[in-house]
Amino acid sequence: MIASIVVQRPAAARQLFVLFHGDDADAAALAPLGRRLAAAFPEGFVVVQPAPAAMTDFLAAITHWRTLAGVEVAATALVGFARGAAMALEATKEQRAAAGRVVALAGGFETLPTRAAPDTTIHLFHGKEDPVAPYAGTIAAAQRLLDLGADVTADVLPLTGHEVTDEMAALVLERLRGYLPQRAWREALEADPAASPGTVRATRAPR
């Protein structure tokens, strides 16, 4: 892919992380987050690339990397910054899931969704002092997703602008490693109907 950086390519990948940046950044800007993901997931295929402008090209890029990595949709995570975040979120409106997880950094939906993406967990992150994309859009998106019954978390970081700080990167890793998707809980309940429900739910960061 043009202008992409493959941060890590294991011999046998178990996860795929595709980091998409927008026009106000480049692959080098997201490479540090890519390296942190690579260290946290040694069996993860990690790549950084520009976010294509057209959704067909965006989805084609995901398919390209997923084919190279040899992983399923459920093991694919899209991490988008700015317009990359908007494209990743818009992809959750597609009929077929493009990824098991979407991490949106400093970006939001072009238009709020009208239905939940049942097979995708969405993690929203935004700086409260972002002068480019106000964080209110992330609060509105989180509320809409919660109302739709989507699997979503949202974190608004104080004293953070239009950037991926160390604190934000650490929270991304925390959500990816520590948050159990609702679909996994549903599968556990189907396997063991006697299991106690309620330990997994969509969450919202304090304002």
Rg of the chain over CA atoms, in angstroms?
16
Average pLDDT over residues 48-63: 96
CB 51 within 8 A of CB 62: no
In a domain, 45, yes or no: yes
In a domain, 173, yes or no: yes
CATH number at residue 28: 3.40.50.1820
**Is residue 64 predicted with pLDDT exceeding 60?**
yes
Q: How many domains does the chain have?
A: 1
In a domain, 112, yes or no: yes
In a domain, 206, yes or no: no
Q: Report how far residue 24's alpha carbon sits from residue 133's, in angstroms, rounded to the nearest whole number.
A: 12
Q: Crossing angle of helices 166-178/27-40, nearest 10°?
A: 40
Q: Which two tokens stand for residue 119?
A: 């097979």
Average pLDDT over residues 64-87: 97
Q: Domain containing 36: what range?
A: 5-191
Q: Report how far residue 16's alpha carbon sits from residue 64's, in angstroms, rounded to the nearest whole number.
A: 11
In a domain, 201, yes or no: no
In a domain, 162, yes or no: yes
In a domain, 207, yes or no: no
In a domain, 11, yes or no: yes
Tens digit of each residue's pLDDT (9 = 90 or more) over 138-159 = 999 999 999 999 999 999 999 9
The predicted structure's pLDDT at residue 193: 59
DSSP calls for the chain: -TT-EEEE--SS-SEEEEEEE-TT--HHHHHHHHHHHHHH-TTEEEEEEEPPSSHHHHHHHHHHHHHHHT--GGGEEEEEETHHHHHHHHHTTSSS-S-SEEEEES---SS--SS--TT-EEEEEEETT-SSS-THHHHHHHHHHHHHT-EEEEEEETT--SS--HHHHHHHHHHHHHPPPHHHHHHHHHH-TTSPP-S--------
Average pLDDT over residues 158-163: 96
For 1, counting Cβ atoms within 10 Å of its Cβ (0-12 exposed, 13-18 middle, 19+ buried), the class is middle
